[in-house]
Structure 1
Amino acid sequence: MSIITSIPRPDGASERSLPRKPPPTPNSIAVAVTLLLLLCAAVWSTVELRINLATMMDSISNATNFLARMFPLDFPPAGELAALIFETLAIVVLATVLAVLISVPVALFAAWNTTSGKYSRTGARVIIVLARAVPDLILAIIFLRIFGLGALPGILAMGLHSVGMIGKLYADAVEELDNGPQEAIRAAGGGRVQQIVSGILIPLMPQIIATALHRFDINLRISVILGYVGIGGIGLAIATALRSLNYQRGMALALVVLLLCIAVELISGAIRAALLGGDRSRSRNRTVSWADRVSENWVSRGQKKTGTSEGLDAGARPIAPPWNADRVRRFLSMSAVLAIVFLSLIGAEFSWEALGYGLANAPTTLGAFFPPAGGDLLPVLLSEMLVTVQIALAATLLGSILAVPIGIFAARNVVTNRAVQTFFRVLIVFIRGLPELIVAIIFVVITGLGGVAGALALAIGAVGLLSKLVADSLEETDVRVQQAVQAHGASRTQVFFAATVRQSAPAFVAHIMYLLDSNIRAATLLGIVGAGGIGFLLLNASRVMQFDVVTTIVMLVLVVVLTVEAISLWIRKAVH
């Protein structure tokens, strides 16, 4: 028989207890339920689209036949290939320049610290959201009807759609900028224009250029998609070759696009790194607060360059900056940019006459898009829109399964083996260079027409986006928490799950929702090559000039995209 005794607690001593975990809020419960419903919907979509091992096994023979018909690759003559590359780069350059020229004033109106009017700020934000929501393929179809064949519709489509991304990033950067320089200029009697130019645009110039270069990478991949609706360049050559089942020429051009995308991304990445500079350890959350960190570095460099008036007489006036190495470098860089834009106007065969003629007849041309079609066609469109959503959900689920482990192995603070880190980082860069349309075409040939090809293509593309975000989130965790867990005897696996993953979990959820948001837009585009969804009907309607049907499809896409974006934004804000 055992005897249990209790020792009385000394007087004045209190029982130590851990603080109670706060109860979940209604908002957090709603977020959890929504995430669970999205997971169930993604699993249902994967099953409904019949993405399974049996489908993959049945496609092995098609893959073998495709490889047999693809080799040997048939590259066009060097002169023809150089002309295609030059035309493609020219269109992308002009589209990116147009986007920057529009995004800067829109961002100034959208930022709270540069706009006093409530309605102007709201209007600018609406422009950014709508530009982001309408896919560039739809804009290209509309502009092709207005301006006709040529590079102009592609330039306008990519340029206006890019405002959705560039304008938002510029507006966020303006809002996070230190207001001290603006206030100093205002106190010295500077006007509104002087405050904007000297206090905002000059400090933000590194972000402006870096964001433009990043968008240039994206537009280069998008230009392949626009080739399927008649926009010139390599995309049109690929579309022509694959429509005639000339896989040797089509895949050869696709390889050129892949190498071009990787080369441009590496070059622009090096330029962005040189512009942004700074020590990465200064900012733990570099993915979210990159603009703040960069603006501080730029302001400090600017102060060092201008210096003070020490050594000058009290009545001396400022003089023009000397022609030192920095000023010569800036002058040469600006001259190079202007030369590139001028050459792009020549390479794209930009026609001011076509622009003026199209604008003059735009009201009459746009009349063909209204009123929207309805009636018996609406159920068919809704059914295909549902397939598009299923493709996006299934691709997000499968892409997350692929991308999260790759992102973990690419994180420097998780994997200590440098060779492993380098391999997975190179893999991510390689996949980021793959145009999703090319991957979708390959899967269409292998698995056949339908949503399977689109979902698999987007799942592969998710590795390039989500893996990088996952790796960055893991590297941005607080190492002190990991060290504290390790100091209590935890193994590396325990440290990873208890400290690293736990800190990164909210960011993981936010990144996956961002991936779903992106996949909804991309799934709309991949239908043009038979990868399932409403994109196929969109392309057919534009070919037979049923522009009222195009308008109905645009409205459906807008509703779905804006709804998913609102849900994604709500969840991302809740988990952070």
Structure 2
Amino acid sequence: MSAPLPTRPRAAATPPPGPGRSPAPVRLVAFGALLATVVAAWYIDFAPAALIDGVDEVAALLERMLPPRLDDPGRIGGLAVETLLMAVLGTVLAAIASVPLAFLAARNTTPHPAVYAAARAVITFCRAMPDLLFAVLFVRALGIGVLPGILALALHSIGMLGKLFADAIEQSDPGPREAVRSTGVGYFREMINAVLPQVVPSWIGTFVYRIDINLRMSVVLGFVGAGGIGFALQDALRGLVYPRALGIVLVILAIIGAMELLAIGVRRVLLDPSTSDPRRDRVWRIVLTALVAAVSVAALVELRISPWSLLTWVGPSFDVFARMVPPNFDALGLDLVDAALQTVAIGVVATAIGVVLSLPVGFLAARNITPHPWCYWAARAWILVVRAVPELILAVVFVAALGLGPVAGTCALALGSIGFLAKLVADAVEEIDPGPLEAVRSVGGGWWKTLFAAVVPQSIPALVGSSLYLLDVNVRTSTILGIVGAGGIGYLLFESIRTLNFDVAGAIVLVIFVVVYAIERLSGWIRSRLV
């Protein structure tokens, strides 16, 4: 999901507007967003009252889940370890593939414009296709197990790692390259000696952040037979054994919470400028590299994956992918158009709700403006809990409470959006210029006056960028909610694959790619006009 790193995704790190910039574009975008939200809510029959009804129904469902229990702790523990190893190994494989791809996809290091275009196309495709979609196709090609899940995580991660790795290369200082080139060394020595030392810190932050994302993703891969703890959770939910399901969810929360704390510690040790020491940083990077290598080897052994299988998957997978060509658009007709529009509508409404509800939480979770330490810790704890539960699991809960349809999917995405965007808002507020805050406080301005006079004006560019990024993420996520009956185009996709109608699946995949890519380009265009 997701924005730059390591503290938050790139889309959220936006520069402040120029002093003469008119607020008219922001107002125009706000009006367009409001209009799009109203139209989208009408299209999927979503009413504000659905949120209130949803709270009551979900509360009733949670009561049926209490008290939580683990019927087979040994098995659940093994699946939890399996999930963690899948996330690490998938990220490592993606990083290995993304390094050479990034050099080819960076304008200042690519050998030819055609190579640049091809590399960027690969990165865009991997980013646009949901990881669960890759998992479904790999399960069909390779069978049930952890290998399809690892490959799905790796391919989808290339879309993010490749892009941010390439962006870091393009932002590197050309001076060291010119100095190294003047000694007469070749292209590879120039990249290793002049470019790598500059980009490695950024790459480490991106890599750590991606492991955090992949751990959340790997939790739900078991829903399609791609390994991990998600299989046990799906089994408990299908059997209506809700106390067992809640016990598994608590295990998932503990794993993801521990990983987030570990990621925060790694970023502080390696990437905090205030504590930077070249010798210490070099030692810690070596330790981190050795640890990741050791965990990767352990993953291969524990998951019983032959290194050879990481290369031979191409043949069987190509056979399945080839059966999707040519795509058959006639079989579904207008149903495909309706499902695609429903998917976009779910993403738009969920994003709007997430933006409105996440702002208060985000402001309270910013250390520099929170009114009291307990507000800060309560808000941060809420963000951690909400972000730790994948949207697909939330969708299962809302489907059980509200019934099948896009309303359940919208509620699930909206709840997940609160945690995601609130973290970006809090991080953005913590990085604003403290001068205006001190000026307002020095004249006796209270908390509310400081918030609206000094915090909000500085935060608007980052809020706009983060909200557009959230829309991009939510549209991607809404494409797969149909697997649990939460509306959108995902239901048609998984049904077509289940019934072996691969030509129909090819049409759906192409529509998903076009929709996601169009939303991404639209978001990028709006950001370029506003920030």
TM-score (structure 1 length as normaliser):
0.82
- Stretch deviating more after TM superposition (70-79 or 264-273): 70-79
Rg larger in 1 or in 2?
Answer: 1
> Partners of 2:508 and 2:20 in 1: how far apart?
46
Determine whether 1:519 maps to 2:455.
Answer: no
Residue 516 of structure 1 deviates from its aligned partner by: 0.6
Higher RCO, Cα 8 Å, sep 6+: 2
Pairing 1:292-311 to 2, within 5 Å after superposition? 301-302=277-278, 305=279
Partner of 1:341: 296
Deviation per CA, 1:92-137, whole angstroms, max 9, x where unpaired? 1111011101111111122222225222222222222221111111
Structure 1 counterpart of 2:376, one-letter code: Q
Matched residue, 2:149? 154
Which residue of 2 is the match for residue 556 of structure 1? Answer: 511
Task: Give the equivalent residue in structure 1 for 2:486.
Answer: 531
How many angstroms apart in 2 are the aligned matches of 1:492 and 1:330? 42
Q: Distance in 2 between matches of 1:526 and 1:364?
A: 26
What's the CA shift for 1:155? 1.2
Distance 2:382 2:255 in 1: 16
1:547 and 2:505 correspond: no
3-state DSSP of counterpart to 2:185? coil
Aligned to 2:10: none
Give 3-state SS (helix, strand or coil) of 1:377's partner.
Answer: coil
Query: Residue 145 of structure 1 corresponds to which residue in structure 2?
Result: 140
Cα distance in 1 between the residues matched to 2:225 and 2:390:
18
Structure 1 window deviating more from structure 2 (384-393 vs 358-367): it is 358-367
Given the alignment, which residue of 14, 32, 36 partners 2:31? Answer: 36
Instruction: Say whether residues 1:400 and 2:355 are aligned partners.
Output: yes
Runs of 5+ unmatched residues, structure 1? 1-20, 281-296, 306-324
Contact kept, 8 Å, 1:262 with 1:433, in 2: the verdict is yes
Q: Tell me, in whole angstroms, the C-alpha distance in 2 between the residues paired with 1:407 and 1:516.
A: 17
Q: Give ranges in structure 2 of 5+ residues lacking alignment.
A: 1-18
Quote how far apart the aligned CAs of 1:182 are.
2.6
**Partners of 2:125 and 2:439 in 1: CA distance:** 47
Q: Against the structure 1 CA distance between its residues 32 and 126, is the aligned structure 2 distance closer, same or farther, given a 3 Å change threshold?
A: farther
The 2-side partners of 1:504 and 1:451 are apart by 32
Please report how far the alpha carbon of residue 441 of structure 1 lies from its aligned counterpart in structure 2 after TM superposition. 1.2
The AA in structure 2 aligned to 1:164 is: G
Query: In structure 1, what is the Cα distance between the partners aligned to 2:334 and 2:125?
Result: 25
Give 2:410's aligned residue: 455
RMSD over aligned CA atoms reads 2.7
Cα displacement (A) at 1:390: 1.1
Structure 1's 334 and 232: CA in aligned 2 closer, same or farther, altered over 3 A? same
The residue aligned with 1:219 is 214
Instruction: Give the number of equivalent residue pairs.
Output: 513
Task: Tell whether the 8 Å contact from 2:351 to 2:414 is kept in structure 1 after alignment.
Answer: yes
Q: Which moved more, 1:75-84 or 1:556-565?
A: 75-84
Cα gap change, 1:336 to 1:69, in 2 (>3 Å): same
Is the 8 Å Cα contact of residues 241 and 250 (structure 1) preserved in structure 2? Answer: yes
2:389 to 434, 442, 459: 434
Greater displacement, 210-219 / 354-363: 354-363
Deviation at 1:237, TM superposition (A): 1.6
Residue type at the aligned position of 1:101:
I
> Could you tell me whether the CA contact under 8 Å between 1:258 and 1:435 is conserved in 2?
no
* CA distance in 2 between partners of 1:60 and 1:508 (Å): 27
Normalization by structure 2: what TM-score? 0.89
Q: Do the aligned partners of 1:60 and 1:446 also contact (CA within 8 Å) in 2?
A: no
Is 1:375 matched up with 2:370? no
When residues 24 and 158 of structure 1 are mapped into structure 2, their CA distance, relative to the original with a 3 A threshold, is same
Contact 2:493-2:505 within 8 A present in 1 as well: yes
CA 1:477/1:142 → structure 2, altered by over 3 Å: closer, same or farther?
same
Q: 1:483 to 1:80 in 2, by over 3 A?
A: closer
Query: What whole-Å deviation, never above 9, does each CA across 1:249-287 have from its counterpart, x for those lacking one?
Result: 22221221111111111112211211102139xxxxxxx
Preserved contact between residue 182 and residue 195 of structure 1 (Cα < 8 Å):
yes
Offset of residue 333 of structure 1? 4.1
CA distance in 1, matches of 2:246, 2:198: 44
The amino acid of 2:491's aligned partner reads F
Contact 1:43 1:397 in 2 (8 A): no
After TM superposition, give the deviation of residue 490 of structure 1 in Å: 5.5
Identity %: 40
The amino acid of 1:105's aligned partner reads P
